[in-house]
Structure 1
Amino acid sequence: MARTPIDKPRVFISYAWESDEYKDRVRSFATELRSAGVDVVLDQWELREGNDMNAFMEASVADESVTNVLILLSPKYEEKANARAGGVGTETQIISPEVYGRVSQTKFLPVVFMRNPDGSIPKPAYLKSLLHFDLSNIDSYGSEYRRLVQALYGVELLPKPELGTKPAWVDEIDAPSSRVLLALDRLKGNEPPQIKRAAFESELATALDAIARWNKSPADYNCQFKYLNMYLDVLPLRNDFNRIAKCYPYVENGHTLVADALERLSRNLREVQGDWHNTELKETLVHELFLYFVAIMQGYGDARALGDVLSREYQFDQHSNRYLGFGMFYHHDDELSSEVGYRDGQSYISPMAKFWLENIDPDTCTGEAFILADELCFNAAILLGRESVGDTWFPKTYIYDGNYAVMRRFANGLRSESRLEKAAAIFGFKNPESFVDRFREVEVLDKAGEYKEYRYRNAYGSAPLLCHFVASEQLGKKA
């Protein structure tokens, strides 16, 4: 339920009278709120000798100018509320009907002020279902206090993201061909290993040959966004390849066969002359297919396969007189970027990423997994030193990793000894020690500004390196 902005918040504080020290703490909290522009109704300030306490409490809770009632939870408060004893008991009788009677109420806000001796939250029965703020922990007090004040002003603590557009694949009837289904059954069955391998190689070749032979051009389309529609038309071929690639674990060293097949397709596209738009689209598709394959291997948790694919040498480049790394699959498509922006009337920071994510193949991976694959490739290129020979990888999708949550989650896992060992394998290192050594080198270079150019000019943040989220001295320190 959306909050209503409040210009001048006014709150009543309900709490249990305990020690003088506790009452001083409550008063200090109320003073802190007032300094933040929140008007506070507090009995210590409002009541005088001879005043009716019950009438004061009832009037304060019912007062329409009071925008929120803060219920400060403590062991004594829970005890008195459940027993309906003392002033707290009176307030409970006043407040509980309001809480029980209004399913969507937001006026009454429980605030954990002091925990039980065992660390549990002293929440009375009638408040059990309400979410709370927690000011009982000194380490998180600052952030929780900020959240509370934002709530008192009616500011959304987690604004709901804008509603996107319907993905193109929703209306598609995207069933795999009967040939692909038959091949999948054979690969998952009890055929001898050599038969499975032959079938897998054959299906990979067939899937990629279908892409290579796909021969449409903008002239075949009578619509405004010709290139976009070309790309949409080739997506079923993309999905067929993904379904075959997902079966690589059924074949010994199947990941190598997939990487070899993608390399052959990429090399052939560079050597064969054809319609410029058609070739451009296919090179972009190879980039996308490689990211899907990385996501597939990561999804299986197959660190060895992923490390092989990311660290191996591919085609020999006579121009540079060296073997290329996986950067040979990288491609930037100006035509696609231009049409996505024109279609939506938007100046996207990364139109290619926008298009890929809105047309994600949901049977292969999620959007988050696709983004992680892109960010892993970027980090692999840096860690393996590929950028020093001009064979790097820029993660086009990183701006869709909100608050770097995807990369942050992966990086934080490296604090674990077992995750560190797996990460070393993912990035092609022989052991965790050599990975940590290189990680430390990248960390130093990053602090010196070596990688600051890896960012979109009009984006807030830079492309995420692992060392942005976890320090080298923290690696593998948890069992």
Structure 2
Amino acid sequence: MGEMRKMEILQNSKIPVVFISYSWTNPEHEKWVYELAGRLREADGIDVKLDKWDLKEGHDKFAFMEKMVTSSEVDKVLVICDRGYQSKANNNKGGVGTEKLLITPEIMESVEQNKIIPIVSELDEDRMPYLPTFLKSRIYIDMSDAEKFEDSYESLVRSIENAPLYRKPPLGKRRIFSDQENTIFLKTGSVIHQMRRAAESDPRRLSVLASNFSDSFFEDLDQLRINYEDFDMHAPDEKIIEKLNISIPLRDNFIEAIKILSENEKIETDWLIDFFERVFAFTEFRGKGQSYDFQCDHYKFLIQESYLYVSAVLLKQAKYKILHELVSSSYMFEYNRGTLEGKFTDLMFHLSSLESRNERIGSKKISYTAFLLTERINASIISKQELLDADMILFYLSIMLDVSPDRGGWFPVTYIYRGYSQPIKLLSRIKSKRRAESILDLFGYASIGDLQSKISSYEHESGYRFNGTGNSIPYIKYYIKPEEIAVNP
């Protein structure tokens, strides 16, 4: 029913049409306008009329501009206000020379007041907007601040769509503003879009955007909270599953952010540690009133899944030193009873709601958590093989680095979905001396000899496996024998 309603909205909605009036102040400003216009069209399904792609040789610029401003088919006119626009408009240069695409006060008088949206792209030395005199009294959208750009962009799109009170849909389609309970508004999607553009044009901005992404992620994550009264106690796991299904786009946004930062050499260990320290707060109920022990199980699953995906991405992109730092570092986790020091193994949880679901629906999975992890794999980000390998590598690292020995290390729940003889690609690769030397950083050893010695003496608790299963988790020597390390060039 929900999908049919969305289709009906799209079929009955007129595609918004906007015209952009701006000054050719300098190439940098023209590029700014061009990218804004392109994003409105590509990301939000808004038909933008712009001189750079709508004006052809022989066309009259002033006639084109006047038609765009006065046409009933154009819903909004965006006036991009910078130093150049203000100067030329105030000096009455809007109708001559190459600046015939500037709006004049006379043209303003012929259109409805709510059709014009001033967009401030630049502030003067006193932090005041460069507004032409005839726009001074108009309410404008300030898009001059890079750190607040995404909030301003959101206001602009909502103004164009005439939908200020509704939530935006997933990226890439026309916006469908809905207040349904199973819809969440993802601010992270907007930041991801900005990160993609920064990666292409100015990678230096990615460090700032990483911080913006974290803040947006936690705002998005807060929308997944479950109240005590939301649960059907005959099937409490259903609400957990519902929230997990909704969380997939948020998880994917997070992993895409990791990929963008990593590919552009902007991924930082401290940023990742801070992220997982902050997200840990969602594992405990923080509100007032009654709560269930399993009330935050969807958050716990998402945290464990996210850590596994991060590890898989770092392994895939050979960020071995960063992954080593990530698994060997201490984390300061906030509990209701205070802040306690922990390790990455504290980001792995037993989820009672999922295991009770396993029994309730008669699925007979060895581990419902492992089943969900494999079922939710986004192959466009990470393959099943890469995820299963990452789970095993985390386990071996936790043992070899002696991380939380009292807990037995990171338990690789997905090992039951790999063939017993299926190789771990990364471990197979260290038969090459060149690759073995590059992978030393992952284990934190100075030489190939140290790695051979550690693998030779490696052992973990005998019979480490799920109860009721035949095969236990193999020693690392099963996948790579010490004497095989670095035997090839």
Q: TM-score range by the shorter chain?
A: 0.5 to 0.7
TM-score (norm 1): 0.56
1:228–1:340 CA contact under 8 A, matched in 2: no
Alpha-carbon spacing, 1:475–1:386, altered in 2? closer, same or farther (3 Å): same
What is the CA deviation profile of residues 163-189 of structure 1, one whole-angstrom value per residue up to 9, with x for unaligned ones? xxxxxxxxxx96576514422324313
Tell me whether 1:395 sits opposite 2:409 in the alignment: no
Structure 1 stretches of 4+ moved >6 Å: 316-319
AA partner of residue 229 (structure 1): E
1:188 is matched with 199
Q: In 2, Cα distance between the equivalents of 1:192 and 1:245?
A: 14
Once the two structures are superposed, the pairs formed by residues 332-371 of structure 1 within 5 Å of their partners are 332-343=350-361, 345-371=362-388
2:358–2:364 CA contact under 8 A, matched in 1: no
2:231–2:239 CA contact under 8 A, matched in 1: yes
What is the CA deviation profile of residues 366-399 of structure 1, one whole-angstrom value per residue up to 9, with x for unaligned ones? 1211111111110001110125243611000001
SS at 2:487's partner residue? coil
2:395–2:411 CA contact under 8 A, matched in 1: yes
Alpha-carbon spacing, 1:396–1:404, altered in 2? closer, same or farther (3 Å): farther
2:278 is matched with 264
Alpha-carbon spacing, 1:423–1:404, altered in 2? closer, same or farther (3 Å): farther
2:309 is matched with 292
Q: CA deviation at 1:192?
A: 6.0
Q: In 1, Cα distance between the equivalents of 2:341 and 2:268?
A: 22
SS at 2:420's partner residue? helix
AA partner of residue 298 (structure 2): L
Q: In 2, Cα distance between the equivalents of 1:440 and 1:322?
A: 35
1:416–1:475 CA contact under 8 A, matched in 2: yes
Q: CA deviation at 1:234?
A: 2.1
Q: CA deviation at 1:256?
A: 3.5
Q: Which residue of 389, 394, 417 corresponds with 1:372?
A: 389
2:432 is matched with 416
1:426 is matched with 442
2:358–2:368 CA contact under 8 A, matched in 1: yes
AA partner of residue 333 (structure 1): L
Q: In 2, Cα distance between the equivalents of 1:322 and 1:473?
A: 41
What is the CA deviation profile of residues 24-83 of structure 1, one whole-angstrom value per residue up to 9, with x for unaligned ones? xxxxxxxxxxxxxxxxxxxxxxxxxxxxxxxxxxxxxxxxxxxxxxxxxxxxxxxxxxxx
SS at 2:474's partner residue? coil
Q: In 2, Cα distance between the equivalents of 1:233 and 1:303?
A: 32
Alpha-carbon spacing, 1:316–1:350, altered in 2? closer, same or farther (3 Å): closer
AA partner of residue 246 (structure 2): D
Tell me whether 1:313 sits opposite 2:313 in the alignment: no
Percent identical among aligned pairs is 19
Once the two structures are superposed, the pairs formed by residues 56-67 of structure 1 within 5 Å of their partners are none
Once the two structures are superposed, the pairs formed by residues 204-219 of structure 1 within 5 Å of their partners are 204-217=214-227, 219=229
RMSD of aligned alpha carbons: 3.1
Tell me whether 1:240 sits opposite 2:240 in the alignment: no
Q: CA deviation at 1:456?
A: 1.4
1:242–1:293 CA contact under 8 A, matched in 2: yes
Tell me how many residue pairs correspond in the alignment: 298
Once the two structures are superposed, the pairs formed by residues 136-215 of structure 1 within 5 Å of their partners are 175=171, 179-191=190-202, 193=204, 195-215=205-225
Alpha-carbon spacing, 1:260–1:427, altered in 2? closer, same or farther (3 Å): farther
Q: In 1, Cα distance between the equivalents of 2:479 and 2:411?
A: 19
Q: In 1, Cα distance between the equivalents of 2:248 and 2:229?
A: 19
2:345 is matched with 327
Q: CA deviation at 1:437?
A: 2.3
1:451 is matched with 461
In the alignment, structure 2 segments of 5+ residues that lack a partner are: 1-168, 173-185
Q: In 1, Cα distance between the equivalents of 2:274 and 2:380?
A: 23
SS at 1:315's partner residue? strand
AA partner of residue 386 (structure 2): A
AA partner of residue 232 (structure 1): N
Tell me whether 1:463 sits opposite 2:476 in the alignment: no
Alpha-carbon spacing, 1:466–1:419, altered in 2? closer, same or farther (3 Å): farther
